[in-house]
Structure 1
């Protein structure tokens, strides 16, 4: 066995084999290790379905690559991958489900995924065995279907060997040790003993520049070996195979195979299998398994079938395919399928470790395996993938995540596979968990909370008795009017927003200034001032957005998006470790949980603060002269010391009030009392999101990410071309391929875009929205997105596709609301 490779892939399921294939094809010296036999984990008992359907832009690209890649494997390897291109028919029993499909279709369209719409009559005409009188319609993907998991894995394995890589079976990893330049991986030979697979006395060490873990159900063991928290824990998934259905057998004598059938409202998929049917339900109460480790006795094994748990789904299959009622059961499978709290895989660099890559938590592993291997190999070999992989990055879960949290959220994710995926959904499991001190006060005031990186954050405020769950919709939900009223309050009066979930870091020390000057693309602010800036990737695209407050000459306070806390911190920390020898000592301190943040904004915000501020000259302390826009001052509001930052994400006069978190309730009460005479209104994240689009403020994770540069995002004013910094030349080499623009949309009277919609110029699809919502100032829908530079010109007429129709849109000037920032800079009257 080789003892040194450039890349070591651990895990021989479909995902690991695909990663090894793509690394080997890229020219890397690669070895794949499997503790048992290839496919002996979840791969062997997977149903092999290849569904396109996914609301994630990145995941849709991954699935699309897989389906196209699998179709070409036989021509390369000579092995038939067992791909049956029968199509995928996803049926809908309700109008809301059809709305979901139409929103999904927008994502599919922006990724170039083909689809068709079928009416109930068309479904019945094509597939007469299917009952359709209670259906609203269906979306049909003609180019996917199902595949044999073992066959496709073996075809990829042959490709691995053809590209010069090595596959070693019956070797278990028992230790990882980073030497500073490579990984020393201790492996043990596994042997058969009494039907179990047990370690032998034979051990060796493999050194590798890079390691990828694709360990599936064994992810918790991997986490323990690496000293990480990996929220990938299996959940039971069962499916049954029926005896041949005489009606189906007769149908197939003169007709093609049915597509994979999905009745999402009944929570199941069905496909043909040797004249019978396979039923795969996603039922309630499926338990998580192996929360800490897989028992040594569990190999290619299954759990006992629990028919009572899937009785409802089984009866609904009989309803949908009446001929199946008299067919007996032939076989059953109940095996572990790994999940994550949001159902998306953990794919990318491991937090805090060099050259360690995770490919864990694949609940749809066969569907994703090909694309996961392709895009992860791009990340490893080229430094970046052609799509932004941040939404799949393992660091989207911070160190607060526990085993109990992961297990319960993974059970919820399994149950929600076929539950309506409203864009405004908020899943309830494991909540509340991370709460700011003012949580109870906000809840009492009617706050309807969302979860951001575990934090509870008000989305909007509603009166007593309001039900957030029942208010959700793919159109304007029951919460919409409350968000409108909150947005109007900030535009005309004053609103208070809880922004405590912001990530906050202190960077100080003799090397801090030189480091941040190299790390970010804007000039650094002077002491007491702030700047918006960006850290770039080595490829010149946007890696992180920061607001930098310069507290002292070599003391900086960095504010970034709360949803990306661990993701940003890891990048920042690694950069400091790399550059500290060059720049001198740099202190990095995560102070997120030390500081609470309230944002107060609106024309009357100064009036509210004026009554609380304690100063020798309280009448002028908040004036433009003493406290100009884009500056910071330490002030006192009553008895609370506050680091006040004059900036407002809403585009109105306003301040962020960073305060000691233990004083938050005191400050909240003071602000509420002081605001009452001025009509202060509590405001949630949804109204704030609309308001920032009226100002064309880009948001990280939507407009900003690793697939566009700051120049392409239209952030030229925050890019200093007169200094050198990380990623600058790469950014300039890219040029401007496309441009971010703001669109005012004459859309439906009952719906707004969500930020996933296709953009058309004439009959040609030319781009996509990345954000969407409603503009209270213009009284119409609004959105932001990317098109080619020639189209990103104010006044350009375009179309936005919503609910399968094209609606008029026009490119607005940047910051269509108050483009000269007069309201932000307004002084004391």
Structure 2
């Protein structure tokens, strides 16, 4: 057994074997995989083996597609049949809302090259007469996927890995990790058996590994404790049952091929054929989380008792959809642990706070994701980045505020929501509210309807306080939801008057010390601001793509205040701290503090924003202190609003005259009341995140996680003005070598009357796919839909007429100039409200 390797993978299920295979294929010739029991003895062995391509996530869609394509090649390479039955996947809809969901998904599928077909109830009945269709609206059909034998595909990947030089060792349990400054020392214990249980022996070895990947499945909580980190991957019970042969199915198969995997999403189940019978897999309410604090030593390839009462509704729904199954008996049953995460996406990427430690945990659809996860994670490890943006799967999307209780309850919710309509505007209720700013209750009393960002409650919009009986705050839609008109009113309020936005969730870091200036100059693309000024800038990946967007406020010669996206606090902080640790010896002492929870933020914006602040600012000359001469655009000052000291920053994400008011969070309620009272004279409106999102698109402001990510450079994003090529910075040469594959554009869309793009739609030119939207919404200034996205460079010229795919139709979309609303920034620089034309006139 080797005791020194380049990469050690811990876990021998489908995920671990795929990672081992792909690392070896990528050129790493010193890879070892350890499994504490037998290969596939975790959740892999009892998985149903389905390979659904359907997924609303752009990254996960790519991962699933790679897996489906890859598995079809394994037999030719390894000689082992992976047991792939390419029978297709029929996802049925009982309602128009469900068909809308499929159409929103389908345009995402087109951006990833996933084939699909639409089917009517009559077509379904003609092709698969055992399926009842009288209450269906239609279906989406994927002809290229189906199901696979989980054990067979795992063994095929394991053999392929061995053929490429990977060492696979079974019955070795990892009992400890220690970073020695340059590599991991991994303590491993040989496992034996006693009375059917797995037990530790006295034999131990220490393996030194440059890189470690954990793919420990149900044992993720044990892994987390050994590493001293939090991993919100906790299993949830998943049941499926196998019926006796169905005589009608047996007769049908004499003259027909196998049924596709059937999914009745509205009934919350999947069904596929199994030896003349059916496998039913429900996603019911009430499935409990298990192993919150670790898997018992006695639990190996074991199952839980079946709870048929819990799945009775889904079982009856199967009988309704496949009437011939009513008289068929049960042959077998399974109830095993399947890992989930709070948002249902796996955790793939660097472990927070640790060097060369990689996580591949929390896979609820592990067989579908295994191939693609191995491929893209190997790219990250070998090349520095994957070819797609993996941020949505990054383990650091959760911070230290997350607890075991939170993860368990949210994972149960994620399981229950597998077949719940995945509205783009959905807000799931479990474990909320949890992180609340002081003004939460005040805003709630004024009609705030909250979304959840990194655990923070943030107003999405403000609805009527005394809502009529027919108004549903929870109304969701794939078109315009019940909230739409309120967001439109809020957007107009900022364009025409003044609005107040709670931006407390912003990520905030303080960087200071003798080495801070040299470090930040190297770390970011733009020149650093002078004291009292601010700059927008970017930190790059080693591949030259966009890793983080920062607003940098220079407080003094050696002290900086960094503001970044609220959803990515741990993600940004970990990258920042690791970069500082790498360069401190070169640049000098640097201190970094996460001060996110210390500072609240209100953004006030609109032509009357200065008037509101003048009413409360404490200064000998209120008119002058907020004027352009003393307080110019893109500057920061300490001011006093009433009794509240405020770090005021002259920026506005909405593109109007405005300030961000960063204040001690313990004074937030005082400041809220002060601003609300002063704003009443100017009809100030409380504004939520959805209106703000629309407004920033009118200014072509790129958003991290949408237009900005690890799959595009700032130059591709059209942010050349924030990149100083006269200086050296991290990732500069890689960015230049990357070239321009696509360009970010803003589009005005002549879309349907009842819907706007969501930011995941395919873009076409003359019927040819040329790009995808990354943001979408409604423009109050232009009176039509708006979107931002990436297209081929030859399609990026202003005035180019393209088409956006929405609800299975192509809608005209015209490339407009960058910042189509007030392109000269007259309004955001305004010194006198009287000089500012009405919003509509400015747009025109």
Residue of 459, 476, 485 corresponding to 1:472 = 476
Distance in 1 (CA, whole Å) between partners of 2:250 and 2:292 is: 43
Alignment correspondent of 1:752: 756
1:449-468 deviations in whole A, cap 9, x for unaligned? Answer: 00000000000000135566
Q: Tell me whether 1:199 sits opposite 2:209 in the alignment.
A: no
Residue aligned with 1:146, SS: coil
Alignment correspondent of 1:391: 392
Q: Tell me whether 1:780 sits opposite 2:781 in the alignment.
A: no
Structure 1 contact 606–654 (Cα < 8 Å) conserved: yes
1:286 Cα deviation (Å)? 0.0
Residue aligned with 1:130, SS: coil
Structure 1 contact 503–565 (Cα < 8 Å) conserved: yes
Q: Tell me whether 1:536 sits opposite 2:537 in the alignment.
A: no
Alignment correspondent of 1:598: 602
Alignment correspondent of 1:728: 732
1:789 Cα deviation (Å)? 1.5
1:500 Cα deviation (Å)? 0.1
Unaligned runs of 5+ in 1: none
Alignment correspondent of 1:150: 151
1:27 Cα deviation (Å)? 2.3
Q: Tell me whether 1:819 sits opposite 2:829 in the alignment.
A: no
Structure 1 contact 613–638 (Cα < 8 Å) conserved: yes
Residue of 771, 784, 803 corresponding to 1:799 = 803
Distance in 2 (CA, whole Å) between partners of 1:194 and 1:158 is: 30
Which TM-score applies when normalising by structure 1? 1.00
Distance in 2 (CA, whole Å) between partners of 1:107 and 1:347 is: 21
Q: Tell me whether 1:294 sits opposite 2:295 in the alignment.
A: yes
Distance in 1 (CA, whole Å) between partners of 2:83 and 2:473 is: 42
Cα RMSD (Å): 0.7
Matches for 1:187-586 after TM superposition, within 5 Å? 187-464=188-465, 466=467, 470-586=474-590
Alignment correspondent of 1:16: 16
Distance in 2 (CA, whole Å) between partners of 1:803 and 1:245 is: 38
Distance in 2 (CA, whole Å) between partners of 1:604 and 1:763 is: 46
1:202 Cα deviation (Å)? 0.6
Distance in 2 (CA, whole Å) between partners of 1:409 and 1:597 is: 28
Q: Tell me whether 1:719 sits opposite 2:735 in the alignment.
A: no
Alignment correspondent of 2:839: none
Residue aligned with 1:144, SS: coil
Distance in 2 (CA, whole Å) between partners of 1:639 and 1:561 is: 28
1:534-583 deviations in whole A, cap 9, x for unaligned? Answer: 00111110000000000111110000001011101100000000000000
Residue aligned with 1:23, SS: helix
Structure 2 contact 473–483 (Cα < 8 Å) conserved: no
Distance in 2 (CA, whole Å) between partners of 1:391 and 1:468 is: 30
Distance in 2 (CA, whole Å) between partners of 1:6 and 1:435 is: 44
Deviates more, 1:765-774 or 1:19-28: 19-28
1:421 Cα deviation (Å)? 0.2
1:254 Cα deviation (Å)? 0.3
Structure 1 contact 448–468 (Cα < 8 Å) conserved: no
Which TM-score applies when normalising by structure 2? 0.98
**CA shift in 2, pair 1:636/1:468, >3 Å:** farther
Distance in 2 (CA, whole Å) between partners of 1:384 and 1:585 is: 29
1:790 Cα deviation (Å)? 1.7
Distance in 2 (CA, whole Å) between partners of 1:599 and 1:307 is: 53
1:735 Cα deviation (Å)? 1.8
Distance in 2 (CA, whole Å) between partners of 1:763 and 1:100 is: 23
Alignment correspondent of 1:682: 686
1:617 Cα deviation (Å)? 1.3
Structure 1 contact 500–598 (Cα < 8 Å) conserved: yes
1:763 Cα deviation (Å)? 1.2
Distance in 2 (CA, whole Å) between partners of 1:254 and 1:617 is: 90
Residue aligned with 1:409, SS: helix
Distance in 2 (CA, whole Å) between partners of 1:784 and 1:562 is: 21
1:568-623 deviations in whole A, cap 9, x for unaligned? Answer: 11000000000000000001011111100000000000000000000121121100
Count of matched residue positions in the alignment of Structure 1 and Structure 2: 829
Alignment correspondent of 1:94: 95
1:124-170 deviations in whole A, cap 9, x for unaligned? Answer: 01100000000000000000000000000000111011001110000
Structure 1: 4+ residue segments shifted above 6 A: none
Distance in 1 (CA, whole Å) between partners of 2:200 and 2:231 is: 24
1:733 Cα deviation (Å)? 1.1
1:395-436 deviations in whole A, cap 9, x for unaligned? Answer: 000010000000000000000000000000000000000000
1:92-133 deviations in whole A, cap 9, x for unaligned? Answer: 000000000000001100000000000000000110000000
Alignment correspondent of 2:85: 84
**CA shift in 2, pair 1:308/1:765, >3 Å:** same
1:723 Cα deviation (Å)? 0.5
Q: Tell me whether 1:671 sits opposite 2:671 in the alignment.
A: no
Structure 2 contact 233–341 (Cα < 8 Å) conserved: yes
1:434-454 deviations in whole A, cap 9, x for unaligned? Answer: 000000000000000000000
Residue aligned with 1:84, SS: coil
Alignment correspondent of 1:72: 73
**CA shift in 2, pair 1:5/1:684, >3 Å:** same
Q: Tell me whether 1:3 sits opposite 2:3 in the alignment.
A: yes
Alignment correspondent of 1:54: 55
1:470 Cα deviation (Å)? 3.7
Residue aligned with 1:83, SS: coil
Q: Tell me whether 1:647 sits opposite 2:651 in the alignment.
A: yes
Distance in 2 (CA, whole Å) between partners of 1:146 and 1:343 is: 21
**CA shift in 2, pair 1:113/1:609, >3 Å:** same
Distance in 2 (CA, whole Å) between partners of 1:302 and 1:682 is: 52
Alignment correspondent of 1:107: 108
Residue aligned with 2:626, SS: coil
1:617-641 deviations in whole A, cap 9, x for unaligned? Answer: 1121100000000000100000000
Q: Tell me whether 1:635 sits opposite 2:645 in the alignment.
A: no
Distance in 2 (CA, whole Å) between partners of 1:321 and 1:555 is: 68
Distance in 1 (CA, whole Å) between partners of 2:180 and 2:804 is: 53
Distance in 2 (CA, whole Å) between partners of 1:244 and 1:48 is: 20
Distance in 1 (CA, whole Å) between partners of 2:346 and 2:248 is: 39
Structure 2 contact 116–140 (Cα < 8 Å) conserved: yes
1:506-534 deviations in whole A, cap 9, x for unaligned? Answer: 11110000000000000000000000000
